[in-house]
Amino acid sequence: MSEILVHTEAGVATISFNRLERKNSITSAMYATLADAVTQAATDAAVRVLVFQGHETVFSAGNDIGDFLNTPPTGDDAPVWRFMRALAAFPKPAIAAVCGPAVGIGTTLLFHCDLVYAGDNAAFSMPFVNLGLCPEFASSLTVTQMFGYHRAAEALLMGEPFMAEAALETGLVNRVLPPTEANGYAQAQARKLAAKPLSSLVETKRLMKKGQAAQIMAQMGEEGASFGRMLREPAAREAFGAFMEKRKPDFSKV
């Protein structure tokens, strides 16, 4: 079965991560599917709302590290770039239901959604520093604006997981639910939105986001250049090598 499932019903397009045995980590082939799905949903008249969901136990472990090392994203046309650009510019409401770990891009993408519902087992993390990297897809901007500087610094410099209740306090999450209810609640909210006038939803979102749109694209570009360079440097090589070898990284020499 496909590792990304896309299903449209009653005006709601649902994108499900479906790679449980690898904790829903995302390969570049999966990013290509995500990019196509989001791009198509933007113009498909049958889609009024987009929903991302994972499994009750895990949303996404972020990039598939082996695949990421073999096919690192190079340039603006890389599937991950096409996906995140399409999501950042997505004109209709986008909702995420998050249970269990949401690592790296699994958390980064939430800042480009409009509503986020979390299971009480959700654990968000942006461990870019711990991987010898820097934030991606405007998270150095979006996290700081949403959390305030000190809480953003804790999330991005320490890179440690924070749970659903903390995410609720920062404004990342709209509501915390039992994990068995999170996907269903997100679907119910999506159906409510899908029954509203689409033109009003789109215009309201555009007006709310327009002040920031150019800044977000610029920050994505600057972060992408740094991220691409840092990926080839010793700290990231040590961090990813350690993950593959199932050991702790040793940054004492980098």
* Contacts with ligand COA, residue ranges (CB under 6 A): 22-23, 25, 61-66, 101, 103-104, 127, 131
Where are the strands (E) in 81-205, listed by range?
Answer: 94-98, 101-103, 115-119, 123-125, 162-163, 175-177
Q: CB of residue 70 vs ligand COA: minimum separation in angstroms?
A: 11
**Distance of alpha carbon 167 from alpha carbon 44, whole angstroms:** 32
Q: Which is nearer to ligand COA, 61 or 194 (CB)?
A: 61
Radius of gyration of the chain (CA): 17
Count, residues in the chain? 254
CB of 143 to ligand COA, least distance (A): 16
Task: Please identify which residue in the block is written with the tokens 């009750």.
Answer: 56
- When the beta carbons of 22 and 151 are compared against ligand COA, the nearer one is 22
Q: Are strands 162-163 and 4-9 parallel, antiparallel or unpaired?
A: unpaired
Q: How far is the CB of 13 from ligand COA (least distance, A)?
A: 25
- Phi–psi pair at 104, nearest 5 degrees: 55, -120
Identify which of residues 14 and 25 has a Cβ nearer to ligand COA in the complex.
Answer: 25
108 neighbors 64 (Cβ within 8 angstroms): no
* CA–CA gap between residue 31 and residue 79 (Å, rounded): 5
Shortest distance in whole angstroms from residue 198 CB to ligand COA: 35
Which one, 103 or 173, has the nearer CB to ligand COA? 103
Neighbour tally for 87: CB within 10 Å: 23
Which tokens in the block code for residue 42? 């933007």
Taking the complex as a whole, how short is the minimal distance between the CB of residue 152 and ligand COA, in angstroms? 19
CB of 195 to ligand COA, least distance (A): 36
CB closer to ligand COA, 24 vs 187: 24
Considering beta carbons, is residue 97 or 122 the nearer one to ligand COA? 122
